[in-house]
């Protein structure tokens, strides 16, 4: 089949990549759309030492597997747990120590015609959610996770740092829980889009730093992290959403002195995200910048890597 293949040095379009298989509890999904996210870009810089087909944001339809789901339009959770350990037993297969992760760790991903996914990971997409919306389920789920992890009190002042794809989703999700959300970013166009969702959006340049009850770090940069540390009030909450792969110098002393609670949040469960998309509570379509055919995947990736780029999708 056709796929993008990362061999650890180069990303290449292969027209005869090994086809994934369906077997037992594994379904084969024909990919309609796949999203390129920052983690993919990090992987193409060596993160996780991954090789194979990247990509973990997708929507498609089941072409092989048990009869009752053949033809269903699905999205899929990306962590494939062993199903037998303590983590899996607690419903935390996304923390299973033996897990593989689609397009990230020992499992081929969705930048391909087809991807194989355990049945337990699949969620059927409601019919009034378009492919262009459904492909955002995974990053949106990761954002809804914040609402499970922290309690937002009425009147809490919240700031989201970073106006990229992740920031835009975070701001909208936080806005569901609080009327006092501000997003601060560098990209005028992105800020304008977020403002259309009724959220206060300010350019970083000229922003007068103030302190917030809750700060969501969604810049993915070391300087963003520094800013986040300055923007959280004593006894406030700092939410770290972006996996900043590089090491950087951070003094944790201010966290202790100001008694900050730091919540780290990565993957979430899909149902709240699919519900929000079905009910049109979150607007994702404006976040799409461009859809590339799979065979232009290398160009698509380099487009996605430009600062301020919104979501780039691949269509196999």
Binding site for a copy of itself (CB under 8 A): 87, 92, 95, 149, 225, 234-235, 240-253, 255-267
Which of helix, strand or coil describes residue 129? coil
Q: How far is the CB of 96 from a copy of itself (least distance, A)?
A: 9
Q: How far is the CB of 253 from a copy of itself (least distance, A)?
A: 5
Residue 238 near residue 215, CB atoms below 8 Å: yes
Which CB sits closer to a copy of itself, 127 or 259?
Answer: 259
Q: How far is the CB of 162 from a copy of itself (least distance, A)?
A: 14
* Nearest residue to 167 (alpha-carbon basis) of 207, 221, 208, 129: 221
Give CA–CA dist 127/50, Å, rounded. 34
Angle formed by the axes of helices 137-149 and 270-278, nearest 10° = 110
Pairing of strands 212-217, 26-36: unpaired
Which CB sits closer to a copy of itself, 269 or 291?
Answer: 269
270: tokens are: 């899909």
Which CB sits closer to a copy of itself, 5 or 213?
Answer: 213
Q: How far is the CB of 300 from a copy of itself (least distance, A)?
A: 25
Which CB sits closer to a copy of itself, 189 or 235?
Answer: 235
Which of helix, strand or coil describes residue 51? coil
Name 131's Cβ contacts closer than 8 Å, sequence gap at least 6: 32, 33, 59, 73
Q: How far is the CB of 180 from a copy of itself (least distance, A)?
A: 15
Which CB sits closer to a copy of itself, 67 or 151?
Answer: 151
């Amino acid at each position: 089949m056709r796929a993008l293949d990362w061999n650890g040095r180069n990303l290449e379009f292969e027209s005869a990549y090994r086809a994934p298989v369906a077997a037992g509890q594994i379904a084969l999904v024909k990919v309609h759309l796949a999203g390129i996210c920052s983690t993919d870009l990090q992987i193409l810089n060596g993160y996780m030492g991954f090789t194979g087909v990247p990509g973990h944001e997708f929507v498609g339809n089941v072409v092989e597997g048990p009869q009752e789901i053949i033809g269903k339009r699905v999205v899929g959770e990306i962590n494939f747990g062993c199903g037998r350990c303590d983590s899996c037993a607690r419903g935390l297969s996304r923390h299973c120590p033996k897990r593989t992760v689609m397009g990230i760790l020992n499992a081929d991903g969705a930048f391909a015609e087809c991807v194989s996914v355990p049945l337990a990971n699949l969620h059927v997409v409601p019919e009034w959610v378009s492919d262009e919306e459904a492909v955002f389920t995974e990053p949106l789920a990761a954002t809804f996770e914040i609402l499970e992890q922290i309690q937002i009190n009425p009147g809490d002042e919240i700031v989201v740092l970073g106006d990229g794809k992740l920031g835009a989703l975070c701001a909208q999700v936080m806005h569901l829980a609080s009327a006092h959300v501000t997003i601060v970013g560098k990209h005028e166009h992105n800020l304008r889009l977020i403002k259309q969702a009724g959220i206060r959006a300010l350019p970083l340049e000229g922003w007068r730093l103030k302190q917030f009850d809750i700060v969501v770090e969604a810049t993915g940069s070391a300087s963003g992290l520094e800013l986040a540390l300055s923007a959280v009030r004593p006894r406030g909450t700092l939410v770290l959403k972006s996996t900043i792969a590089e090491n950087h110098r951070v003094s944790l002393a201010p966290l202790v002195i100001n008694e900050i609670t730091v919540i780290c949040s990565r993957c979430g469960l899909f149902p709240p995200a699919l519900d929000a998309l079905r009910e049109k509570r979150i607007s994702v379509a404006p976040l799409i910048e461009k859809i590339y055919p799979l065979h232009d995947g290398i160009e698509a990736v380099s487009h996605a890597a430009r600062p301020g780029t919104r979501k780039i999708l691949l269509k196999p």
